[in-house]
Structure 1
Amino acid sequence: MTEKPWGGGLPPQTALMTGRAVFTEAYAVIPRGCQTDIVTSFLPGWTGMRMWLLARPMSGFSETFSHYLVELEAGGGSDAPEVDTAAQSILYVVDGTLSLTVGGATHAMAAGGYAYVPAGSDWSLTTDKGARFHWIRKRWIGAPGIEKPTPLVTNEAEVVPTPMPDTEGRWATTRFVDPADLRHDCHVTIVTFEPGGLIPFEETHVMEHGLFVLEGKAAYRLNRDWVEVEAGDYMWLRAFCPQACYAGGPGRFRYLLYKDVNRHAALGGVLGQR
Structure 2
Amino acid sequence: MAARTYYAPPGGLPPQTELLTGRATFTTAYAVIPKGVLRDIVTSALPFWSDARVWIIARPLTGFAETFAQYIVELAPGGGSDQPEPDKDAEAALFVVNGRLTIMLAGQPHTLEPGGFAYLPPASGWTLRNNTEAGATFHWIRKAYEPVEGLPTPPPLFTNEAAIPPTPMPGTAGKWATTRFVDPADLRHDMHVTIVTLQPGAVIPFAETHVMEHGLYVLEGKAVYRLNQDWVEVEAGDFMWLRAFCPQACYAGGPGNFRYLLYKDVNRHPKLAAPFATKSQR
The one-letter code of the counterpart of 2:192 is: H
Whole-Å separation in 2 of the counterparts to 1:42 and 1:221: 34
Percent sequence identity is 65
2:236 aligned with 1:231: yes
Stretches of structure 1 lacking an aligned partner (at least 5 in a row): none
Structure 1 Cα separation of the partners of residues 215 and 112 of structure 2:
23
SS at match of 1:167: coil
Partner of residue 156, structure 2 = 151
Q: Is the 8 A contact 2:6 2:219 kept in 1?
A: no
The aligned residue for residue 249 of structure 1 is 254
TM-score, L = length of structure 2 = 0.93
What is the correspondence of 1:126-205 to structure 2 with a 5 Å cutoff? 126-129=129-132, 130-205=135-210
* Deviation of 1:106 (Å): 1.1
What secondary structure sits across from 2:137 in the alignment? strand
CA shift at 1:249, angstroms?
Answer: 0.4
> Pairwise CA RMSD of aligned residues?
1.4
Q: Supply the AA of the counterpart residue of 1:72.
A: L
Cα 1:149/1:222, change in 2 over 3 Å: same
**2:126 maps to what in 1?**
123
Aligned residue number for residue 97 of structure 1: 100
Partners of 1:232 and 1:262 in 2: CA distance: 29
Match of 2:12 among 9, 14, 17: 9
Give the direction of change, closer, same or farther, for the CA distance of 1:173–1:70 in structure 2 (3 Å limit): same
Partner of 1:221 in structure 2?
226
- What do the CA deviations read for 1:96-155 (whole angstroms, capped 9, x no partner)? 000011233211110000000000111100012321000000000011211100000000
SS across alignment from 2:162: helix
Change (3 A) 1:190 1:3: closer
Question: For residues 20-169 of structure 1, what are the structure 2 equivalents within 5 Å?
Answer: 20-129=23-132, 130-169=135-174
Residues 149 and 4 (structure 1), Cα distance of their counterparts in 2 relative to 1, 3 Å cut: closer
Distance 2:220 2:7 in 1: 11
Stretches of 4+ moved more than 4 A in 1?
2-5
Is the 1:61–1:208 Cα contact (8 Å) retained in structure 2?
no
TM-score (norm 1): 0.96
- CA deviations on 1:71-113 (whole Å, 9 max, x unpaired) are 0000000011001000000000000000011233211110000
Q: When the two structures are aligned, how many residues end up with a matched partner? A: 271
Q: How many Å separate the matches in 1 of 2:36 and 2:64? A: 22
Q: Which runs of 5+ in 2 are unaligned?
A: none
> Are the counterparts in 1 of residues 70 and 140 from structure 2 also a CA contact under 8 Å?
yes
